[in-house]
A and B are shown apart, each in its own frame.
Chain A
Amino acid sequence: MADTHEAIEELLAGYVLRSLSGEDAARADHLLTDHVPHCPACRDSLAMFQGVTADLALEATPLRPPDTLLPRLHRDLGAQDRRRRPAAVLAVAASVVAVVGFAGLAVTQSMRVSDARSRIDNIRSAFDFARRPGASMVQVDSSTSDTEPITEISRPGTERFYLVGSDVPLPPEGTVYRVWLVSGTRATWATDFVPEPGMMIVTLEFDPSRYDRIVISVEPEGSTPDAPRLAVWQTAS
Chain B
Amino acid sequence: MSGAALPRNRPRRVIQLTAMMNGDVDDLELHRRLSAGDRDAFDQLYRRYAPTAFGMAYRLTGQQMLAQDVVHDAFMALWRAPEAFDPARGAFRTFFLSLVHHRAVDTVRREERLRKRSERAANLEPLTDEDPAEDVVDEAFLGIRRRELRQALATLPDPQRQVLEMAYFQAYTQAQIAEELDIPIGTVKTRTLAAMRKLRRALYRED
Contact = CB atoms under 8 A, between A and B. Distances in A.
Contact of A17 (B132, B142, B192, B203): B192
A191 B46 CA distance: 20
Contacts of A4: 1-5
Contact of A56 (B39, B105, B168): B168
Residue of A42, A48, A69, A176 most packed against chain B (CB within 10 A) = A48
Interface stretch (A133-141, A150-158, A219-227): A219-227
Interface string B190-201: 101100110110
A171 interface: no
Interface string A5-17: 1110110011011
Most buried by B among A22, A58, A87, A186: A58
Contact of B50 (A7, A19, A44, A65): A65
A54 B101 contact: yes
A16 B192 CA distance: 11
Contact of A191 (B39, B59, B80): B80
Given A14-B174, A63-B55, A53 B68 contact: no
Contacts of A24: 174
B83 A5 contact: no
Interface stretch (A73-81, A107-115, A120-128, A228-236): A73-81
Contact of B90 (A2, A51, A62, A86): A51
Contacts of A44: 10, 12-13, 16
Interface string B68-99: 10011101110111111110111101111111
Interface of B: 1-8, 10, 12-13, 16, 37, 39, 42-43, 46, 50-56, 58-59, 64, 68, 71-73, 75-77, 79-86, 88-91, 93-103, 105-106, 109-110, 127, 132-133, 135-136, 138, 142, 145-146, 149-150, 153, 164, 167-169, 171-177, 189-190, 192-193, 196-197, 199-200, 203-204
Given A6-B3, A60-B55, A65-B50, 19 more contacts: A4-B1, A5-B5, A9-B6, A9-B193, A24-B174, A41-B8, A44-B12, A47-B12, A47-B90, A51-B94, A55-B149, A58-B149, A60-B169, A61-B55, A68-B68, A74-B39, A81-B37, A189-B84, A223-B84
17 contacts: A9-B197, A10-B189, A20-B173, A24-B174, A41-B7, A41-B8, A47-B12, A51-B16, A51-B94, A53-B98, A57-B101, A62-B55, A62-B136, A70-B50, A84-B37, A189-B84, A222-B83
Interface of A: 2, 4-7, 9-10, 13-14, 16-22, 24, 41-42, 44-45, 47-66, 68-70, 72-74, 76-77, 80-81, 84, 86-87, 176, 183, 186, 188-192, 205, 210, 221-225
